[in-house]
Structure 1
Amino acid sequence: MIRLEGVGKRFPGAERPAVDALDLVVAEGSVCALIGPSGCGKSTTLRMVNRLVEPDAGRVLVAGTDVMRTDPVALRRRIGYVLQGVGLFPHRSVADNIGTVPGLLGWTRARIADRVDAMLDLVGLDPVQYRARRPHELSGGQRQRVGVARALAADPPVLLMDEPFGAVDPVARDRLQAEIGAILRRLGKTVLIVTHDIDEAMRMGDRVVLMRDGRIVQADPPERLLAAPADPFVASFVGQDRALRRLALIAAERLASPGPLPDAPAIAAGASLREALALLLATGADGLNLTGDGPAAHLTLAAIRAEAARAVT
């Protein structure tokens, strides 16, 4: 759905390109997370997709069409865009903000109203309670939800997210990452997200692309990136605690053994191994019973330790 072929960008006066002969494919219906140190070119890469920045070399294609051969206004109306700080129009209501692009596309008022309510429901905000509010009447997390609703209102196949949760407090951020990530996968959107937060990239991305000096250093599924860093830079960037990060990506049920353990604490089968480890350490137990719809099963501390070791060998 999104393809970058030998894309380059050098800004005036810069010693080196911001993006240097970059090749990248984001498969249809997948979430690709761009991470890397400040100045690595990740935001420039994202902004070339909707022509907020125009490439000096190479091609950027969306659904097989070169973006440089597309009217930029028409292009942006087909691509949802969520950025840090949301960028809601401060003097317009939540409903008017969400209905911005559908209105530009000529939708009827009734159709826009229905879509606004559907989008608010989608992101977990009651339409009756929120549609008439102004942005200053919302919390940071609520504004971010409205920003996502606005980006999805015209049902674009592609969504760009530039540090979308950077201005939200840590507790709300974790919840938003999980909930918005699940929504995007359910809708089958093709998503390119830029983040400086390694945990966010691992939680949301089907594929994580680590950049340095305008180039891709490693592009892999999260588990692979954590288990097999391509070089010392990647290993340093993902951190020495990459074993724990990897455990957060794996459901407890994946390491389950059949049958219950007598008198063991319980945890949901869909909980992560990191959550299971935390409970085991807190209780001093050697195993947990898994709760859910499936047959009785348990998870041992030994199984978690063996899995964690795979990320550092």
Structure 2
Amino acid sequence: MIRFEGVTKRYPGADRPSVAGLDLTVDEGTTCALIGPSGCGKSTTLRMVNRLVEPDAGRVWVAGRDVSEIDPTGLRRGIGYVLQGVGLFPHRSVAENVATVPGLLGWKRGRIGPRVDEMLDLVGLDPTRYAHRKPAELSGGQRQRVGVARALAADPAILLMDEPFGAVDPVARDRLQEEIGAILKRLRKTVILVTHDIGEALRMGDTVALMRDGRLVQADTPERLLAAPADAFVENFLGGSRALRRLERLRVRDLAGPEPAPPPLPEIAPEASLREALDRMLATGATRLAAGGSSLSLDAVREAARLPEP
């Protein structure tokens, strides 16, 4: 769906290219998380997809078409865009913000209203409560949900997300990442996500592409990245224990067994991560936790922590 072919971009006065000879493919219906140190070229890479930045060399392909041959305005209206701080129009209501792109595309009013309600429902905001509010009346997490609803309103096949959760309260961030990630997978959107948070990249990305000084160092599934870092830079960037990183990706509901949990076992939410489950076990001394109508054993957590063979 999206392919970078030998793409290079150098800004005037820079001592090196922001992006240098990038070859990368993002398959249809998958999420690619671009990550790396500040200044590595990840945001420039994302902005070349919708022609907010033009490459100096190479080509960017979207659905088999060279984007340089597509009218920029039409290209951008067909691509959803979510950025840090959301960028909602402060003087417009939530409903008016979500309706922005459908309105630009000339949708009829009778079609826009139901679509706005559908999108707000999709991201967990009751239209009857939130549609007429202004962005200033919302929490950071709620504003981010509106931003995603706006980006999805015209049903684009592609979504670009540039540090979308950076301004969200850390307490709400993990839940928001999981919920939005699940929505995008269900809708089969092709997504490029720029993030500085390795946990977010591993949690949301079907592929994680790690960049350094404008070059792609490694692009792989989270499992392969954790199991076989390409070099010391990748291993250091992953940080901490790679086994614990793996536990952060997995959910209790994915490994909880059918065995009922007799009281008084400590409880854990089925949507919690295995890292949270391990912390709960260590804090309570329990070797099994109740998880809804089932339970999770310490042995299952240990097995999940084992990295797959490279």
Name the TM-score, length of structure 2 as normaliser: 0.92
CA contact (8 A) 1:161 1:192 kept: yes
2:290 is the alignment partner of 1:285: no
Distance change in 2, residues 1:24/1:249 (3 Å): same
**Equivalent residue number for residue 181 of structure 1:** 181
Q: Deviations over 1:116-161 (max 9, x none)?
A: 1111111111112211111112111111111111100100000000
**Equivalent residue number for residue 307 of structure 2:** 310
Hey, what's the Cα distance between the residues in 2 that align with 1:37 and 1:28? 27
**After alignment, is 247-256 or 148-157 more displaced?**
247-256
Distance change in 2, residues 1:260/1:144 (3 Å): closer
Hey, what's the Cα distance between the residues in 2 that align with 1:254 and 1:155? 30
SS of residue paired to 1:310: coil
Distance change in 2, residues 1:176/1:262 (3 Å): closer
CA contact (8 A) 2:210 2:218 kept: yes
- 1:12-31 matches, within 5 Å, as 12-31=12-31
CA contact (8 A) 2:278 2:298 kept: no
- 1:110-129 matches, within 5 Å, as 110-129=110-129
Opposite residue 121 of structure 1, the aligned amino acid is D
Hey, what's the Cα distance between the residues in 2 that align with 1:189 and 1:254? 23
Cα RMSD over matched residues? 2.2
Hey, what's the Cα distance between the residues in 2 that align with 1:107 and 1:288? 51
Q: Deviations over 1:27-51 (max 9, x none)?
A: 1010110000000000000000000
Q: CA deviation at 1:216?
A: 1.0
**Equivalent residue number for residue 132 of structure 1:** 132
Opposite residue 174 of structure 1, the aligned amino acid is D
Opposite residue 301 of structure 2, the aligned amino acid is I
SS of residue paired to 1:5: strand
Opposite residue 222 of structure 1, the aligned amino acid is P
SS of residue paired to 1:55: coil
Opposite residue 246 of structure 1, the aligned amino acid is R
**After alignment, is 35-44 or 237-246 more displaced?**
237-246
Distance change in 2, residues 1:177/1:277 (3 Å): same
- 1:51-70 matches, within 5 Å, as 51-70=51-70
Distance change in 2, residues 1:297/1:187 (3 Å): same
Distance change in 2, residues 1:307/1:121 (3 Å): closer
Q: CA deviation at 1:305?
A: 3.5
Q: CA deviation at 1:309?
A: 5.0
Identity among equivalent positions (%) equals 71
CA contact (8 A) 1:81 1:161 kept: yes
Distance change in 2, residues 1:267/1:312 (3 Å): farther
CA contact (8 A) 1:246 1:311 kept: no
For structure 2, list consecutive stretches of 5 or more residues without a partner in the other structure.
none
Opposite residue 111 of structure 2, the aligned amino acid is R
Distance change in 2, residues 1:131/1:251 (3 Å): closer
Distance change in 2, residues 1:176/1:258 (3 Å): closer
**Equivalent residue number for residue 300 of structure 1:** 298
**After alignment, is 174-183 or 150-159 more displaced?**
174-183
| Count of residue pairs brought into register by the alignment | 309
